[in-house]
Amino acid sequence: MKLEGEVRIPSGCAIAAVISREGKGITGDVIYNAMKPMHDRSNGLGGGFAAYGIYPEYRDLYAFHIFFDHRSTRKECEAYLKERFEIVKGELIPTRKIPEITNEPIIWRYFCAPLGSMVASEQVDESEFVARTVMKINTEMKGAYVFSSGKNMGCFKAVGYPEDVGVFYKLEEYEGYSWTAHGRYPTNTPGWWGGAHPFSLLDSSIVHNGEISSYDANRRFIEMFGYKCTLQTDTEVITYILDYLLRRQGLTMEEAASVIAAPFWSTINAKPEKEKERLTFLRQVFPSLLITGPFSIVYGWNGGLMALNDRLKLRSMITAEKDDKVFIASEEAAVRVMEPDAENFYAPAGGEPVIVRVKEGKF
């Protein structure tokens, strides 16, 4: 059977997220418990979380979470990292042995800072340097896989049901101002841990429910810019698209949403002149980054979350609020677990981004 990345595997999914606009700490059990009522949306072949604000003591360092299939792979990978980074700390990620999660790889994390001289010699900025390092390890170093590489954030994922994955990683011991979660229902998979979601690059992470029909058009376009879609998953390509639009092209979150879930031409033509010009421009310039087919995504970054549906709204997704918190989930039931008194339930229209930012200075 072919491994993930050698073959494209469509999946259905469950997603959930919570964020505090005030930057207040939320423990991980809140989010993994929210996945329980959506159990049937996953099939035990992948679950994971992204957490923001969990490493305040290392907030200026890149936190690399890496799967190794063997001790020797780790040695080799560490040697490579040391050529490019100052490693401040390296340790096993704490886990708990539970019968629901088995066959775990070696799971390690490193807090590190890029070597200034190396960054300068490659003539790129720091984030591009880190992104290249991740891409290099993931494409060229067999048996090593970086699944998280941002500052003061981290992804945790495994083969299993998401609520079990949360227990496995002891997420109740972490406190973050923003969390996203994913439960996977792949149609077939050999069960590789790297294939679970969220998918993450630098501090951006994506959880996604859907199967996009534009995949290969998107992939073949984005690969022109140095990205390598090694996993052949939708989530991976969406992460790279957003990285390209936001970080490399400098689009705003709203503009990026108008590229990937572009309004229909009929809608654009009915807009006021200035808006029409802007939307036409974005569709004209980035036609290959339009994403079609069903998706609901939650995009996370340091300081915020964006929820977005495909332009036909072919996947369920709901948002709600309570005090400083905003909740996003595939189903209302998940929100009710996180906050029984949640209010302002809202189903965003297809292509309508819901953007939540933590107040300046609170994260």
Partner 1 sequence: MKDHFIYPEFEVVRNDNRCIQCRVCERQCANEVHSFDPERGIMLSDETKCVNCQRCVSLCPTRALKIVKSDCRLRENANWADDTIKEIYKQANSGGVLLSSMGNPKPLPVYWDKILINASQVTNPPIDPLREPMETKVFLGKKPEKIKRNEDGELVTETTPQLELSMPVMFSAMSYGSISYNAHASLARAATELGICYNTGEGGLHEDFYIYGPNTVVQVASGRFGVHKDYLEAAAAVEIKMGQGAKPGIGGHLPGAKIVGDVSKTRMIPEGSDAISPAPHHDIYSIEDLRQLVYSLKEATEYKKPVIVKVAAVHNIAAIASGIARSGADIIAIDGFRGGTGAAPTRIRDNVGIPIELALASVDQRLRDEGIRNNVSLVVGGSVRSAADVVKAVALGADAVYVATAALLAMGCHLCRTCQSGKCNWGIATQRPELVKRLNPDMGSRRLVNLMDAWRHEIKELMGGMGINSIESLRGNRLMLRGVGLTDKELEILGISHAGE
Catalytic residues: 13
Q: Which is nearer to partner 1, 101 or 262 (CB)?
A: 262
SS (H, E, C) 310-348: CCCCCCCCEEEEECCEEEEECCHHHHHHHCCCCEEEECC
Query: What DSSP element (H or E) covers 30?
Result: helix 28-34
| Per-residue binding letters, 224-253, with partner 1 (x by CB under 8 A) | xx-----------------------xxx--
| Per-residue binding letters, 260-299, with partner 1 (x by CB under 8 A) | --x-xxx----------xx-xxxxxxxxx-xxxxx-----
- 221 makes contact with partner 1 (CB under 8 A): yes
Using CB under 8 A as the binding rule, the residues of this chain from 176 to 195 that contact partner 1 are 187
> Cβ–Cβ contacts within 10 Å for residue 277, how many?
12
> Cβ–Cβ contacts within 10 Å for residue 17, how many?
29
DSSP code at position 267: H
Q: Least separation, in Å, of the C-beta of 284 and partner 1? A: 5
| Per-residue binding letters, 134-173, with partner 1 (x by CB under 8 A) | ----------------------------------------
Interface with partner 1 (CB under 8 A), residue from 113, 141, 314, 355 = 314
Interface with partner 1 (CB under 8 A), residue from 21, 109, 184, 311 = 311
Are 15 and 329 in contact by the 8 Å Cβ rule? The answer is yes
User: How far does CA 295 lie from the centroid of its chain?
Assistant: 14
Q: How far apart are CA 158 and CA 169, in angstroms?
A: 9
State both tokens at 158. 């495994």
- 4 makes contact with partner 1 (CB under 8 A): no
The torsion of the CA quartet 228, 234, 239, 243, rounded to 10 degrees, works out to 60
Number of residues that bind partner 1 (CB under 8 A): 46
Q: Which is nearer to partner 1, 153 or 256 (CB)?
A: 256
| Per-residue binding letters, 5-24, with partner 1 (x by CB under 8 A) | ---x-xxx------------
Q: Which is nearer to partner 1, 102 or 267 (CB)?
A: 267
Q: Which is nearer to partner 1, 123 or 266 (CB)?
A: 266
φ, ψ of residue 84 to 5 degrees: the values are -120, -20
Q: Judging by beta carbons within 10 Å of its beta carbon (0-12, 13-18, 19+), is residue 75 exposed, middle or buried? A: exposed
Using CB under 8 A as the binding rule, the residues of this chain from 24 to 43 that contact partner 1 are none
**CB within 8 Å of 172: residues ≥ 6 apart:** 27, 28, 29, 32, 166
Interface with partner 1 (CB under 8 A), residue from 86, 122, 125, 223 = 223
- 255 makes contact with partner 1 (CB under 8 A): yes
> Cβ–Cβ contacts within 10 Å for residue 206, how many?
30
User: How far does CA 149 lie from the centroid of its chain?
Assistant: 11
Q: Which is nearer to partner 1, 18 or 251 (CB)?
A: 251
Q: Which is nearer to partner 1, 224 or 349 (CB)?
A: 224
Chain residues binding partner 1 by CB under 8 A are 8, 10-12, 187, 210-218, 220-221, 223-225, 249-251, 255, 262, 264-266, 277-278, 280-288, 290-294, 311-312, 314
